Amino acid sequence: MAAIDETHDGALRSWVESANGHGDFPIQNLPLGVFSRPGEAARGGVAIGDSVLDLAALAGSGLLEREALEAAGAASGDTLNPLLALGAGPRRALRRRLSALLAKGAAERPQVEPLLVPMAEATLHLPARIADYTDFYVGIHHATNIGKLFRPDNPLLPNYKHVPIGYHGRASTVRPSGAPVIRPNGQTKAPDAEGPSFGPIARLDYELELGVWMAQGNELGQPIPIEAALDHVAGLTLLNDWSARDLQAWEYQPLGPFLAKNFLTTVSPWLVTMEALAPFRIAQPPRPEGDPRPLPYLWDEADQRGGALSLDLEVRLSTEKMREQGLPAERLSRGPASNMYWTIAQMVTHHASNGCEMNPGDLLGTGTISGPEHGTQGSLMEITRSGREKVTLPTGETRTFLEDGDELMLSGRFVAEGAVSIGFGPCTGVVQAAVPFK
């Protein structure tokens, strides 16, 4: 696990004034991403307050050396995959050098300041080229809440507490925050209908998740032991696994999610590194009495002591009418990421336990993170009890599922005593009408 060092100092301030007190990107964060400006090539960058530090320009500035220079050079192209492949050492060296260069009083400020790009002028792209995307199901309260809707007497299937369940998603439809959410067409069947029909789906939902970006991979046939699993993780992002619930209900048996999930997945474009998260590691909540202990390949005492995150997650909704009236977005839910039943390390180790090859830039979704209480659920399916209970908004509008024009916003904030809070930046999408099927 990454260690706490001088880059996490709560007293540290930056000469980039917008970073001081910034809700997401103070100097203690320094997340990685890929950006471009009109007419310019995409390249790696680091968020600092309301600006982006151009890593390609920094690599040629003469201000870096050894591992930090290697890392910035690897991040100079249109994807961070080469940087992720280097592993934690160069990434950590770059972070420490960036922190020193951006700290208040840094002698190098005159050389660094011209390398900053206003965030408002930057187009943000996916941080990595994704070859494979896997979505897990580690939010036990979500699994329980959904299970109760269909199996009230037996909400959790027998394998849930023994194995981190997942399915392979579609990497080609992962997009950064702000990409339009085009309502999918699909084949559905109403419970009282004689047969299925095809057209725009009606029960469009979101799922509040974390995305896990893989760093160094493993060779085919070689598992990743749990004590080394986090060495293979570069960092985290917010992830919205948009879901067509009516399509899902018709197609998911017997092989699970397919078209109901693969039309779009939205991620926040900044990769918050594992190094930045060091002050926010907390103990994994103990399993309830009577729950089975995981098999040895999934159990590590160090992971149990620091495998969870002190992270508050929130979902807000804004309708077209609310925006026209100047009303703030309505909070749908809020809860801690510690509601994950399985840790990130357990997800990675299980994924590779059969020898599956993992590669830099692979993306893992945690699955929906919900809490047990009302107001902590991570999907409308849970909040509205599959459409049986409506959400009433300040305009008097009601929702059971998302409608065209709705904007859905995920946010996450890492909070710990003595540490400066950091975040992911926005993860948003506006629902658009379905494209007519010709």
Query: Are the beta carbons of 9 and 23 closer than 8 angstroms?
Result: no
Q: Known binder of ligand: residue 209?
A: yes
Q: Known binder of ligand: residue 265?
A: yes
Q: Known binder of ligand: residue 330?
A: no
Active site residue 232: no
Query: Are the beta carbons of 68 and 46 closer than 8 angstroms?
Result: no
Q: Known binder of ligand: residue 50?
A: no
List the alpha helices (DSSP H) in 332-431: 344-352, 380-383
Q: Known binder of ligand: residue 160?
A: no
- Between CA 381 and CA 150 the distance in angstroms is 12
Q: Known binder of ligand: residue 404?
A: no
Q: Which residues pair with 266 in a beta bridge?
A: 175, 240
Query: Are the beta carbons of 367 and 243 closer than 8 angstroms?
Result: no
- Between CA 215 and CA 98 the distance in angstroms is 20
Q: Known binder of ligand: residue 251?
A: no
* Catalytic residue of the set 141, 142, 232, 350: 142
List the alpha helices (DSSP H) in 11-54: none
- Between CA 288 and CA 292 the distance in angstroms is 9
- Between CA 49 and CA 19 the distance in angstroms is 4
Task: At 57, list the tokens.
Answer: 């320009």
Q: Known binder of ligand: residue 248?
A: yes
> 3-state class of 199 per DSSP?
strand
Q: Known binder of ligand: residue 135?
A: yes
Q: Known binder of ligand: residue 151?
A: yes
Q: Known binder of ligand: residue 304?
A: no
Question: Which residues are annotated as catalytic?
Answer: 142
Binding-site residues sit at 135, 137, 151, 207, 209, 241, 248, 252, 261, 265, 368
Binding-site residues for Ca(2+) sit at 135, 207, 209, 241
Binding-site residues for Mg(2+) sit at 241, 261, 265
Binding-site residues for substrate sit at 137, 151, 248, 252, 368
